[in-house]
Amino acid sequence: MNALARLGRTGLAFFERLGRGHVFLAQMLYGLPSMLLRPRLVVQQIYSVGVLSLLIIAVSGLFVGMVLGLQGYNTLSDFGAAESLGVMVALTLVRELGPVVAALLYGGRAGSALTAEIGLMKATEQLSGMEMMAVDPVRRVIVPRFLAGMIVMPLLAAIFSAIGVYGGYFVGVGLLGVDEGAFWSQMQANVDLHEDILNGVIKSVVFGVVVTWIAVFEGYDCVPTSEGVSRATTRTVVHSALAVLGLDFVLTALMFGDV
C-alpha cells in the first residue's frame, strides 16, 4: 500500500508540474507581443544566449563536418561514389545533425546558464522584488529570454551546418582528393530548398522553443536554494537533451517518413 501511495504521489507531482509548465508556456506566449515595444531587452538576450554560444557551435560544427567527410569518404568510395560526398555531408547536416547537435549544445551552453541565472534571481528574491515593484517578472525577465532562444536557435543551427559543410569539404576535397567540382555541383543539385533546408529550419525552431521553455521554466520553478538551483540546472540539460532527441524522431517521421 505504501509503495502504491508513493507511486500515486509521484504521478500526481509529475502531472502537476507538467500542468504548471504548460500554464507557464501560455503566460510566455501571451506576453510575447509586449516585446514589440521593448526590443532592446530581446537584443540583450540574443547576445547572451546566441552570440556567446557561437564559438562552441562553430568549433563543434567544424569537427562534426570533418568526421562526416572522413567516414562518408570511407563508405562511399567502396561503392565508387566518392563524388557524392558533398551531398552526403550536406544532407546529414542540414536535415539532422545541424538542428539536433546545435540544440544539444545550446541546451548545455545557454540553457543551463538561463536556468541558473533565473534560479539565482529567484533565490535572491529578485523576482519577488520585481513583483512587489509591480513589474511582472515573466514579462520583464522570462519572455525576452524565451523569444531570444526562439530567434537564435535556427541561426545557430544554420551556422553549424554551414561550417560543417566546410569541414567536410576540407577533409574530402583538401585531404582525400575528392573532385571539387563534383563535391559542390552534386550538393547543389541534390539538396532541396523546401524538402531539406526548410524542414531543418522547422526542426531547429521547434528545438529552440522547447529547449528554452524547459530552461526558463526550470529556473522559474526551482526550489530557491543553492541545491535547488543546481538540481534545476542538471534537469534542464538532461530534459532538454531527451526532448530534442525524442522530438527529432517524431519530426523526422512526419517530414521524411514517406520518402
Cα–Cα distance measured from residue 38 to residue 144, given in angstroms and rounded to the nearest whole number: 9
Pick one of 128, 188, 225, 226: the residue that binds another protein (CB under 8 A).
128
- Decide: is 129 part of the binding site for another protein (CB under 8 A): yes
Q: How far is the CB of 107 from another protein (least distance, A)?
A: 22
Residues 227-256 that bind another protein (CB under 8 A): none
Amino acid identity, position 103? A
Name which of 17 and 175 has its Cβ closer to another protein. 17
Taking CB under 8 A as the binding criterion, the range among 64-72, 85-93, 94-102, 116-124 that sits at the site for another protein is 116-124
Q: Which pairs count as long-range contacts for 92-96, CB under 8 Å and 24+ apart, including other chains?
A: 92/68, 93/64, 93/65, 93/68, 93/160, 93/161, 93/164, 93/165, 93/168, 94/161, 94/191, 94/196, 94/197, 94/200, 95/196, 95/199, 95/200, 95/252, 95/256, 96/248, 96/252
Binding string, 76-95, against another protein, x = CB under 8 A? --------------------
Q: How far is the CB of 143 from another protein (least distance, A)?
A: 14
Binding string, 133-172, against another protein, x = CB under 8 A? xxxx---x--------------------------------
Taking CB under 8 A as the binding criterion, the range among 59-67, 127-135, 202-210, 224-232 that sits at the site for another protein is 127-135
Longest dimension (CA), the chain: 71
The candidate with the shortest Cα–Cα distance to 219, out of 134, 145, 150, is 145
Q: Which spans of this chain sit near another protein (rule: CB under 8 A)?
A: 120-121, 124-126, 128-136, 140
